[in-house]
Amino acid sequence: MVSTYNGSTSIAKITKCIYTVLSAGMSVFLPRTHICHKESNMLRLLRGWLCSGKRNVCIGKGCVVTSMAKIDEGTTIEDYVRVVGHITIGKNVYINCFTMISGEVVIGDGVLISQFVTIWGRAHRFMNRDLPIWDQHGKHGITDNGYDVQSVKIGTGVWIGPQVTVFRGVSIGDGAVIGAGSVVTHDVPAFAVCWGVPARVVKYRQSEQAAAQKA
């Protein structure tokens, strides 16, 4: 029996082995964009448990969640989200990546928050023109870090589109929808659909029965 050597096959196997080893090793150091493997759900659940004390909360990598935040069951927070301040997040909430939630914010059950959303429950002071803005933020005996705080309240079942900014003191009613790129400066009624800069109500969501009656 004569054995043959297939060089191309051997090279392919060696290359595959090298790639597998490098992928496993570098995935520890490189961001996910460089390695096409989704992060283990076990890690996300572990982070969620450490931050919330609940077993069915998922938190992605690169997130910042302060100890003052309260996160309820069934919530998912994707990668690189910042939750900083007295934040209360209800059940079954989904927060997409690169979102910033700061200050005093209450988020109801079943809320969907898209990527690159900013929700401000506080703002830096800046109105004293005789004092540099940086000095109005946490200097000269200021004990509250120089923030003006007004809580934001987001009702149950709200959907906030991508790249939305919600300013302090705003309440968003149950079931409202905020369109992409909007800047919310005033209260939004329940089941309103709004968008724009500043955001304005353009219509209201209806039940199927009400829509059928109008038709």
pTM: 0.75
Q: Does the active-site annotation cover 124?
A: yes
Contacts with 196 (C-beta within 8 Å, 6 or more apart), sequence order? 179, 182, 183, 202
Distance in angstroms (rounded) separating the CA atoms of residues 199 and 15: 55
Under 8 Å between Cβ of 186 and 170: yes
**55-63 contacts: CB < 8 A, separation 24 or more?**
60/97, 61/32
Determine which one of 34, 124, 140, 186 is catalytic: 124
Instruction: Give me the CATH code for the 40-205 domain, please.
Output: 2.160.10.10
Quick one: pLDDT at residue 134? Answer: 74
Quick one: pLDDT at residue 147? Answer: 73
Q: What is the mean pLDDT of residues 45-56?
A: 90
Domains of the chain: which residue ranges? Answer: 7-37, 40-205
Q: What is the pLDDT of residues 82-99, one digit of tens each?
A: 999 899 999 999 999 999
